[in-house]
């Protein structure tokens, strides 16, 4: 891929695609600035080298122009982190925006309005991509968290501008691929969270790459059903043809570790109820909402041997105590052994919990990618990355 450090950006208009998407309150206030902070190194580099910086991002999933999804509060947070020199412009493309950019001086930063106020963004519309490209001389892709989306600001725009990866993107790709392809072993992977159909590919690939794969959350429940250990009713109504969905996963692999006990709750949560029990004792009216104490101990013992750990997704329904215990204990344990292990963690919910526990600095790499990290680990092509590679190839051919 092209290298941003090899070009002179002074006085150039640089369009930077960041992923500044994150939770925000009803008043639009930024509730978590993790991704905003992670975007700073590239922006700082460009500012120190005299570029005119034009930031584009999406926020949430608005339907049309809905100002509750405005990037204005995000621009304000950036202004604080940058100590001034950040201006918000309330549109994304067009004459007004171009006029603002024309007036920019070296080192100045503007943040444009939410890309998704235009449906054309998600449609990877060619005209919209061109309108974005008109704003700048150079494009920098730093939105790793959106690289699994084939949108205009991820793909289309790279056809019309010389395109470079930003520092966050480079860092994510380097760390994630090193930990998967050339890790210090044993490599222990942990996958939790959503239902199995969204995670089969990543489970298959991690079973291949890891020395141990530990599962929790809904995905573990589905595999317990598939193995005939748990009754089907309460656990996997959402997997209609479960056996078909899991057919690529080697259910008898010695590397695959499923919960042996769980924290059971009532499937409808009508009353407060919880019970620790072996997974095989699950009753019809119950669901497994967290890994149980024996599983926690077993997983900890495996993790204590690890040299590399990759983790994505909570191990239980962590927003609803007491079903948060497994995720919290595993997070704390990984934090405690940080000095002797290389730890990589990602996924919005997992990162949120780690921040809440105040142990963010006890992990070696916290990925800004949720879906993007999973797709990368599953070995899928990320459209945002493919577009950058193609743009680099084109540039090099043009130069030959």
Can you give the binding site for Mg ion, defined by CB under 5 A? 338, 364
**Closest separation in Å from C-beta 361 to ligand 3PG:** 22
Restricting to residues 110-169, name those near ligand 3PG by CB under 6 A: 145-146, 149
Q: Report the C-alpha gap between 54 and 9 in whole angstroms.
A: 13
List the catalytic residue out of 145, 262, 371, 384. 371
List the catalytic residue out of 13, 17, 22, 35. 35
Q: Are strands 52-56 and 163-165 parallel, antiparallel or unpaired?
A: unpaired
| 25 assigned to active site | no
| 185 assigned to active site | no
| 195 assigned to active site | yes
**Closest separation in Å from C-beta 342 to Mg ion:** 5
- 61 touches, from ligand 3PG, Mg ion, none (C-beta below 5 to 8 Å by class): ligand 3PG
**Closest separation in Å from C-beta 374 to ligand 3PG:** 10
For the record, the structure tokens of 379 come out as 């070995």
Residue closer to Mg ion (CB basis): 137 or 364: 364
Handedness of CA 40, 42, 47, 48 (dihedral sign): positive
The residue among 89, 8, 14, 95 whose CA lies nearest residue 52 is 14
**Closest separation in Å from C-beta 154 to ligand 3PG:** 10
**Closest separation in Å from C-beta 323 to ligand 3PG:** 23
Site string for ligand 3PG, 339-378 (x = CB under 6 A): -------------------------------xx-------
Total site size for ligand 3PG, rule CB under 6 A: 8
- 145 touches, from Mg ion, ligand 3PG, none (C-beta below 5 to 8 Å by class): ligand 3PG
The residue among 124, 149, 110 whose CA lies nearest residue 16 is 110
Instruction: Please check whether residue 46 is in contact with residue 16, taking contact to mean a CB–CB distance below 8 angstroms.
Output: yes
- 149 touches, from ligand 3PG, Mg ion, none (C-beta below 5 to 8 Å by class): ligand 3PG
- 146 touches, from Mg ion, ligand 3PG, none (C-beta below 5 to 8 Å by class): ligand 3PG
The residue among 139, 121, 118, 2 whose CA lies nearest residue 66 is 118
Residue closer to ligand 3PG (CB basis): 21 or 129: 21
Site string for ligand 3PG, 7-36 (x = CB under 6 A): ------------x-x---------------
Ranked by CB distance to ligand 3PG, the top (closest) residue is 21
Angle CA 87–149–41, to nearest 5: 40
| 300 assigned to active site | no
Q: Using CB atoms within 10 Å of the CB of residue 268, give its burial: 0 to 12 exposed, 13 to 18 middle, 19+ buried.
A: exposed
Q: Report the C-alpha gap between 177 and 356 in whole angstroms.
A: 27
Binding site for ligand 3PG (CB under 6 A): 19, 21, 61, 145-146, 149, 370-371
Residues taking part in catalysis: 35, 195, 348, 371
């Amino acid at each position: 891929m092209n290298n941003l450090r090899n070009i002179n950006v002074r006085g150039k208009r640089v369009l930077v695609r960041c992923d500044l998407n994150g939770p925000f309150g009803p008043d639009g206030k930024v509730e978590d600035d993790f991704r905003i902070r992670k975007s700073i190194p590239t922006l700082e580099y460009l500012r120190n080298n005299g570029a005119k910086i034009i930031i584009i991002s999406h926020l949430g999933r608005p339907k049309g122009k809905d100002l509750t999804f405005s990037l204005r509060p995000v621009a304000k947070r950036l202004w604080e982190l940058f100590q001034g020199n950040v201006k918000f412009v309330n549109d994304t493309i067009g004459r007004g925006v171009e006029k603002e950019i024309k007036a920019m001086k070296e080192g100045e930063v503007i943040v444009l309005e939410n890309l998704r106020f235009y449906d054309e963004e998600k449609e990877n519309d060619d005209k919209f991509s061109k309108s974005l490209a008109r704003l700048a001389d150079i494009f920098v892709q730093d939105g790793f968290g959106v690289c699994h989306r084939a949108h205009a600001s991820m793909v289309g725009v790279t056809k019309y501008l010389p395109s470079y990866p930003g520092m966050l993107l480079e860092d994510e790709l380097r760390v994630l691929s090193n930990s998967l392809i050339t890790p210090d072993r044993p490599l222990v992977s942990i996958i939790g969270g959503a239902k199995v159909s969204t995670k089969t590919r990543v489970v298959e690939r991690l079973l291949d790459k890891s020395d141990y794969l530990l599962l929790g959350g809904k995905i573990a429940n589905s595999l317990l059903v598939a193995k005939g250990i748990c009754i089907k009713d309460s656990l996997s109504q959402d997997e209609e043809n479960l056996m078909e969905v899991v057919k690529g996963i080697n259910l008898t692999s010695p590397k695959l570790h499923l919960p042996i006990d769980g924290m059971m709750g009532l499937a409808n949560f009508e009353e407060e109820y919880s019970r620790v029990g072996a997974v095989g004792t699950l009753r019809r009216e119950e669901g497994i909402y967290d890994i149980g104490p024996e599983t926690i101990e077993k997983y900890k013992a495996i993790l204590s041997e690890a040299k590399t750990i990759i983790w994505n997704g909570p191990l239980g329904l962590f927003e609803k105590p007491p079903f948060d215990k497994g995720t919290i204990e595993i997070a704390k344990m990984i934090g405690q052994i940080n000095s002797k292990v290389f730890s990589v963690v990602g996924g919005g919910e997992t990162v949120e919990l780690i921040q809440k526990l105040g142990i963010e600095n006890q992990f070696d790499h916290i990925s800004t990618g949720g879906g993007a990290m999973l797709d990368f680990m599953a070995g899928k092509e990320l459209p945002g990355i493919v577009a950058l590679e193609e743009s680099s190839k084109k540039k090099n051919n043009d130069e030959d």
